[in-house]
Amino acid sequence: MGEFELIRHYFAAAACARAGGDVVLGIGDDCALLAVPPAEQLAISTDSLVAGVHFPDPCDPYLLGQRALAVSASDLAGMGATPVGFTLALTLPTVDPDWLAEFARGLDAMAAACELRLIGGDTTRGPLSITMTVFGRVARGQALLRSGAQVGDLLCVGGELGNAAGALPLVLGERQVEADLAGPLLAHYWSPSPQFALGQALLGKATAALDISDGLLADCGHIAKASRRALEVNLAQVPVSPALQGFLGSEAARQAALIGGDDYVLAFTLPPAQLSSLRAAGVPVHVVGRVLDGEGVRLLDEQGQDITPQQRGYQHFRETP
């Protein structure tokens, strides 16, 4: 099967590849065409997932298709953007029809959940890797940035943390556990749910935001640096799921929540006056700290003591001592 036949058979025919909405022209020409209202801007983000680095190889291709799109789409949620479309660059060692059919099925399922349309991409031969570029739209000048945190703001997250990091021993086959504990952890790893509704609810309210991909402390560091402020995290306020605590124990669960990564939950800074209205509207807001004058990120224990760890989260090119 050649490259173009592969694209036509597995991807161009998928439901998510149909033009419509903001996608005027999808797969089939040299470029896709997107219609963006005059008062809005495009939000664009690219992520690459490499076999053996970002996911185990081999793994279930249906689950991989879901995960690959979800982790990229989460960046749109972090900007408060409305999803529009995505491109897929897929590098394959061989053409395996069964693998491709399941991967495309998982991709299509997540595209439907995220309301994203496949608008183009590329395929080539080589070690298995997946590169997604996602496109969204947001009102001009209203996108959530990392750089607006103000002294006195609350530091918040949009849900429980650490589940995906806790799932790694299960994903890698290193441990087994009963289904009621394994299920929520594995679901968060393989099928994260980008928090589009939360991101859009925060427009005009939050002062800074991003999605947590490398760990709470590491990603809070990005807000602190961009905003030129200090962020303080209270360990006792970090939300951790019962499944994660049951699987890892309380101490290890907290560590996973702080530095584990792969959460794809939003972290944001919020003026205190905005908290009650968001909660009254049913928006998931968990206060985990505050914004202070200064720089960097501090972690405090239940007694208010500084227990900031040296390791803050995942880095691809961490320098070794």
Domain-ending residue, one of 95, 116, 139: 139
Specify whether 46 is located in the same domain as 162: no
Give the model's pLDDT for residue 15. Answer: 82
Q: Is position 309 within any domain?
A: no
Boundary of a domain, candidates 81, 111, 139? 139
Q: Which of 91, 114, 139 is the last residue of a domain?
A: 139
The mean-pLDDT minimum among 19-28, 89-98, 190-199 falls in 19-28
**In the predicted model, is pLDDT for residue 1 greater than 80?**
no
Summarised one tens digit per residue, pLDDT across range 20-69 is: 888 988 887 888 899 889 999 999 999 999 999 899 999 999 999 999 99
**Neighbour-count burial for 212-237, b at 16+ CB within 10 Å, e otherwise:** bbbbbbbbbbbbbeebebbbbbbbee
Residue 237 lies in a domain: yes
**Does residue 246 lie in a domain region?**
yes
CATH number of the structural domain spanning residue 55: 3.30.1330.10
Q: Does residue 29 share a domain with residue 86?
A: yes
What is d(CA 173, CA 49) in angstroms, rounded to the nearest whole number? 20
> Same domain, yes or no, for 97 and 160?
no
Is residue 182 domain-shared with residue 134, that is, in the same domain?
no
Q: What is the DSSP string of 116-154?
A: -EEEEEEEEESS-EEEEEEEEEEETT----SS---TTPE
CA distance 129 to 50: 4
Cβ 261 vs Cβ 213: under 8 Å: yes
**Pair 161, 296 in one domain:** yes
Interval 301-317: pLDDT, tens: 988 898 988 765 554 43
Strands 117-125 and 82-92: parallel
Strands (E), the chain: 23-25, 33-34, 40-50, 82-92, 117-125, 129-139, 154-157, 208-211, 230-234, 266-270, 286-292, 296-300
Q: Same domain, yes or no, for 175 and 95?
A: no
pLDDT for 2 equals: 66
Query: How high is the pLDDT of residue 142?
Result: 96
Do 125 and 180 share a structural domain?
A: no
What are 254-299's pLDDT values in tens digits? 999 999 989 999 999 999 999 999 999 999 999 999 999 999 999 9
Is 60 exceeded by the pLDDT of residue 319? no
Q: What is the pLDDT of residue 12?
A: 78
Same-domain pairing of 101 and 51: yes
The whole-angstrom separation of Cα 8 and Cα 245 is 45
DSSP 320: P
CA-CA distance, 272 to 154, in Å (whole number)? 6
Structure tokens belonging to residue 7: 């694209």
- Which residue has 């033009």 as its token pair? 19
Judge whether 306 lies within some domain. Answer: no
Residues 220 and 163 in one domain: yes
Angle at 209 between CA 204 and CA 215, to 5 degrees: 160
Q: For residue 318, is pLDDT > 90?
A: no
- Note whether residue 63 is domain-resident: yes
Which residue range(s) make up the domain with 241? 154-300
pLDDT score for 96: 92
Radius of gyration in angstroms for the set of CA atoms belonging to the chain, rounded to a whole number: 20
Q: Is the pLDDT of residue 237 over 90?
A: yes
The answer to whether residue 312 is domain-embedded is no
User: Using 50, 70 and 90 to split pLDDT, how confident is the model at 70?
Assistant: very high
**For residue 280, what are the CA distances in angstroms to 50, 57, 283, 317?**
41, 44, 7, 43
Kindly state whether residue 146 falls inside one of the protein's structural domains: no
The answer to whether position 10 is within a domain reads: yes
User: What's the half-sphere exposure (Cβ side, CA atoms, 13 Å) at 274?
Assistant: 21
The verdict on 29 and 116 lying in the same domain is yes
* 110 and 188 fall within a common domain: no
Do 170 and 293 lie in a common domain?
yes
Does residue 60 or residue 18 have the better pLDDT? 60
Q: What is the mean pLDDT of residues 204-228?
A: 97
What is the tally of structural domains in the chain? 2
